[in-house]
Amino acid sequence: MITAKTTLNLLKTHFGYSSFRPQQESIINDILSGKDVMTIMPTGGGKSICFQLPALALSGTTIVISPLIALMKDQVDSLLANGISASYYNSSQESYIQNETLKKLQAGELKLLYVAPESLQNLIPHFASIKISLIAVDEAHCISSWGHDFRPAYTKLGHLKKQFPNTSIAAFTATADSATQQDIVTQLNIPEAEVHLSSFDRKNLYLEVRPGNNRIDQILKYLDSRPDESGIIYCLSRKSTEKLASKLNSNGFKAKAYHAGLSADERSRIQEDFINDRTPIIAATIAFGMGIDKSNVRWVIHYNLPKNIEGYYQEIGRGGRDGLPADNLLFYSYADVVMLRKFAKGSSNEEYQIAKLERMQQFAEALSCRRIALLNYFGEHFTENCENCDICTSPPNYFDGTVLTKKVCSAVSRLDEQEATGMVIDVLRGAQNAQVLEKGYQNIKTYGTVKDTSWVDLQQYVIQMINQGILEIRFHENGRLVLTPLANKVLFKDKKVQLAILPKLEDKIEEKV
């Protein structure tokens, strides 16, 4: 019988920590009692211990499916450093190394074995004669073909539950989009899994968005006020990482470029230099960062708009892992939107990608607390302003938008939450177009009740309601707009809504010049 005292002891003796982080203990307890689990925890939240500790507590070997070779190696190295017998197995290794690992596995000498999903099928015959204590699936969102990290080999993992019906399967991801969560549970055949959803709030991260003009000058100024601090600048293209790195170097900042076009050796050298503070600044594509455990990253800049909020969140999450303040700056330019739209064109899930990009844009254009907008996206309905984002620290002017919000919510409700933003706006503005008339929406009670607001302005207000977590877009279901619990408070419990006064069109044009 494994008691709370035992798990805490294991935490202290093997990992050197005095207490569990939120969720870790209940996840571990579920695993130890033989349940399947599905954990959604932000990057840096402490997922590894949730399967490493049970691996120690249970008899047998824990198999960890992990998508990245670099990540496996780091984890195994740190386990070995903690005196835990662990190894990894993937196709990049020479066969004599693989054979050594297999020997140890057969002899029951390994507490943990990290395996690339592509190598798993080769290994399964070797599992027959040993005891598998737990199967952990790390970065489990790679199973979902919706996501950008899709790995076809992950889709074969569904067999595991059939082959090892009595072994717990524990899936871990930092991607919380609810449709993806569902996909993971279904594909892994673990419908009864206990779901653990951690808070995605990282209070120490300051969130800021600026227009993307004169980015280089802005960055140089930004870095001037942050001497010797470590940070990452994410760029969309390999070329811009190199251009930016050389620009920074010629201005006296130590920076290196990192992207998938470099050799593996070069990449790991750059990574090491960053981790050990020899190179404080990295200009990188999104290839950089997965699995990099550096606690003192003090700022993250997005030179370009990320293609979705998941990506943005993952990347800013590399800052401030030590819990101390870290700054995030996102440059927003329409040119980026155009480019990202082009990238999405022609892909199998184009519409979905564009919808996610639009949501990213809405975040960048937010006129209310950015943290609320971000967390709402992940299904956490916060309502308190964070006071740690650019909007909270210098808010726009607001008006009492309760009546307008009620009208919009009521239209969404009367459309049975089946229509996307465009149609909701058309109905509210009393549009006479064919789609509206064919569906008979002119008979809906809220039809035409917001006639006096322009289409574009009303769209902006609806975006504000989405960002405030009053409405939500269902990406997987044609982008239909639905009400959240907060909407019900507005409709029925007299909850007041503040909306930002929109800048006049002339002012906007002025800004652009």
Q: Judged by CB, which is closer to ligand ADP: 47, or 406?
A: 47
The rounded distance, in Å, linking the Cα atoms of 513 and 499 is 27
Q: Judged by CB, which is closer to Zn ion: 141, or 371?
A: 371
Which does residue 193 bind out of ligand ADP, Zn ion, none, counting CB within 5 to 8 angstroms by kind? none
The rounded distance, in Å, linking the Cα atoms of 288 and 209 is 22
Does residue 380 interact with Zn ion by CB under 5 A? no
Region of 38-46, 154-162, 484-492, 495-503 interacting with ligand ADP (CB under 6 A): 38-46
The rounded distance, in Å, linking the Cα atoms of 372 and 193 is 29
Region of 18-26, 60-68, 87-95, 154-162 interacting with ligand ADP (CB under 6 A): 18-26
Does residue 371 interact with Zn ion by CB under 5 A? yes
The rounded distance, in Å, linking the Cα atoms of 421 and 97 is 56
Region of 146-154, 333-341, 363-371, 453-461 interacting with Zn ion (CB under 5 A): 363-371
Helix (H) or strand (E) holding 472: strand 471-474
Does residue 45 interact with ligand ADP by CB under 6 A? yes
CB of 293 to ligand ADP, least distance (A): 5
Integer-rounded Cα Rg, in Å, for the chain is: 25
**Using a CB cutoff of 8 Å and minimum separation of 24, what contacts does 481-484 make?**
481/412, 481/417, 481/419, 481/420, 481/421, 481/424, 482/412, 482/417, 483/409, 483/412, 483/413, 483/417, 484/376, 484/381
Residue 156 burial (10 A CB sphere; 0-12, 13-18, 19+): middle
Does residue 44 interact with ligand ADP by CB under 6 A? yes
Region of 51-59, 304-312, 315-323, 381-389 interacting with Zn ion (CB under 5 A): 381-389
The rounded distance, in Å, linking the Cα atoms of 202 and 45 is 10
Does residue 386 interact with Zn ion by CB under 5 A? yes
Does residue 209 interact with Zn ion by CB under 5 A? no
User: Angle at Cα 422 formed by Cα 417 and Cα 423, nearest 5°?
Assistant: 55
Place of tokens 């204590």: 133
Binds Zn ion by CB under 5 A, chosen from 27, 369, 408, 411: 369
Does residue 202 interact with Zn ion by CB under 5 A? no
Applying the rule CB under 6 A, the residues between 493 and 512 that interact with ligand ADP are: none
CB of 143 to ligand ADP, least distance (A): 17
Does residue 175 interact with ligand ADP by CB under 6 A? no
Region of 46-54, 106-114, 124-132, 220-228 interacting with ligand ADP (CB under 6 A): 46-54
Which does residue 389 bind out of Zn ion, ligand ADP, none, counting CB within 5 to 8 angstroms by kind? Zn ion
- Strand pairing class (86-89; 37-40): unpaired
For residue 246, count other CB atoms closer than 10 A to its CB: 14
Region of 16-24, 281-289, 405-413, 483-491 interacting with ligand ADP (CB under 6 A): 16-24
* Residue 290 vs residues 7, 67, 137, 221, 317: alpha-carbon distances, Å: 28, 10, 16, 28, 10
Q: Judged by CB, which is closer to Zn ion: 204, or 488?
A: 204
Kindly state the number of chain residues that form the binding site for ligand ADP, as judged by CB under 6 A. Answer: 13
The rounded distance, in Å, linking the Cα atoms of 358 and 343 is 14
Contact set with Zn ion (CB under 5 A):
369, 371, 386, 389, 392
Contact set with ligand ADP (CB under 6 A):
17, 20-21, 24, 41, 43-49, 293
